[in-house]
Amino acid sequence: MAETPSNNEYWSANIRLVTICMVVWAVVSFGFGILLRPVLAGISVGGTDLGFWFAQQGSILVFLAIIFFYAFRMNALDREHGVDEE
């Protein structure tokens, strides 16, 4: 299959979307849950501090939100490039 500009644009947009999603997840799970935990310790959420919450539940919930966002955005990207499932 020959590489066309449309294929390159599609995969470039796909890789950009994956990179953005992974950076958001890394910032939330590693940044908020580990690095910024002492800063977030003063904020209470559900009986515990916000840093601990991000480390335990927050990163998982953000990951689930990213999965739905990725699926929604990829469907739109597929339609834009004419590779959607009809």
The per-residue pLDDT of the chain, averaged, comes to 86
Transcribe 7-53 into DSSP letters.
HHHHHHHHHHHHHHHHHHHHIIIIIIIIITHHHHTTSEETTEEHHHH
pLDDT band at 3 (very low <50, low <70, confident <90, very high): low
pTM: 0.79
Structure-model confidence comparison of residues 78 and 55, the more confident one:
78
Q: How far apart are CA 72 and CA 62, in angstroms?
A: 15
pLDDT digits (tens, 9 = 90+) for 17-46: 999 999 999 998 888 888 888 888 888 877
pLDDT band at 75 (very low <50, low <70, confident <90, very high): very high
